[in-house]
Amino acid sequence: MGAGLVLALAAAAFQYFSPASRELMSGRDVRLALLGGRSSALLVYHPFSSTVNAFTLSHPRAGAGVPLWHRGADLALAAGGTAAGENIFYIALSSAPDLDALRGTLNNWRAEPRRLLSAVSWIFGLRAAGATNLSAFDLFALFGEFSKLNSSNFILTEISRKPQAAETEQEEGPAPRVEVFNASGKKGLAAQEAKRLRALGFDVITEASYPTLQKETRILSFSGDTAAALRLRGALGLEALEIRVKSSQKSVAGAAVVLGQDFGARGLSSKE
C-alpha cells in the first residue's frame, strides 16, 4: 500500500509540474503546433468535447535561427490568436504534417496494435532529439488523450498566411537603421539575429559584442519617435518588452537591441 501511495503521489507531481498535463487536468484547451518545413498544422484539443480543431497552413521555409516557439506562436496567431498566458506546445517535423496518417492511426490502432507501438516509439524519440518542448510525461498524457479519438473528432480548417508585422511595415517604407549587440555570452548571437533582420529588410549597420554581459534583453530608441524601435521589437518577437528611449545617446541608427542572457529563454524569445 505504501509503494502504491508513493507512485500515486509521484504521478500527481508529474501531472502538476508538466505544463500540458496540468492544462489537461484543469480542462483547458491544449494547443500543439506541428511544424514542418513548408507547411504546419495547429491542433487545438478541447478536453471537454473530445474534439480537435486542426488548422493547416502552407508557408515559406523558416529561416535559420528562427526559434521553434516563435514559429508556433505565429501559427497560433494565424489561426485566430491565443489569450495571454496560454502555452503553445510544438513538435518539429522533418516533413509536412500528415493529418490523414494521424487520423488513420487513431482509427485503426485497436485493430492493428503495431500502429500504436510505432507511434509511441516515434513520439518518445522526439523528446530525445530535442524536437519538442513537451516533457516525456506530457507526451504520454497527450498520447493517451488522442488515442481515444478518431477521424470524426477532427475539424479541419485551411488557413491563409497573414504577413508578419515586420513584413507589413516593410511594404509601408524602408526599414530603419538598427544596431544589434550581443550581451548574452552566446557566441555568434548578434550575427545570427542581424542576418535574420536583414532578411526582413532591416538596415543593420552594427552587429557586435556588448562591453559587458547583461541578464535582460533591451530595446533602445535613440529619439522620441519610437517607430524604428517598435518595428525592431516586432521583428524579434519581443512585444512584451518595454522600449527605453535614449535620446541623449547619439547614433546614426534609429534603434538598437542589446541581446541579454534571457534571449532565447522561456517566456521572452524562445521556449525551446
Contacts of 186 (CB under 8 A, 6+ apart): 263, 264
| Cell numbers standing for residue 157 | 480548417
State yes or no: pLDDT of 171 exceeds 50.
no
Q: What is the CA radius of gyration of the chain?
A: 21
CATH number at residue 236: 3.30.70.2390
pLDDT of residue 116: 67
**Range of 81's domain?**
2-158
Same domain membership, residue 125 and residue 73: yes
Contact by Cβ (8 Å): 115, 143:
no
Please name the residue that has the C-alpha cell 518539429.
92
Question: 233 lies in a domain?
Answer: yes
| Cell numbers standing for residue 244 | 527605453
Amino acid at residue number 210: Y
pLDDT for 23-38, tens place per residue?
A: 888 888 889 999 988 8
Question: 269 lies in a domain?
Answer: no
Question: 229 lies in a domain?
Answer: yes
> What band does 263 get if pLDDT is binned at 50, 70 and 90?
confident
Same domain membership, residue 32 and residue 66: yes
Same domain membership, residue 209 and residue 88: no
pLDDT of residue 13: 35
Q: How many domains does the chain have?
A: 2
State yes or no: pLDDT of 164 exceeds 70.
no
> What band does 160 get if pLDDT is binned at 50, 70 and 90?
low
| Cell numbers standing for residue 29 | 484547451
Contact by Cβ (8 Å): 205, 253:
yes
Question: 266 lies in a domain?
Answer: no
Of the candidates 140, 158, 176, which is a domain's last residue? Answer: 158
Same domain membership, residue 106 and residue 58: yes
pLDDT of residue 20: 80
Across residues 84-98, what is the average pLDDT? 79
Contact by Cβ (8 Å): 215, 263:
no
Same domain membership, residue 169 and residue 205: yes
Quote the mean pLDDT of the chain.
77
pLDDT of residue 258: 94
In 3D space, the residue among 166, 174, 172 whose CA is nearest the CA of residue 66 turns out to be: 166
Same domain membership, residue 243 and residue 211: yes
Same domain membership, residue 153 and residue 172: no
pTM: 0.54
Same domain membership, residue 147 and residue 211: no
Same domain membership, residue 203 and residue 225: yes
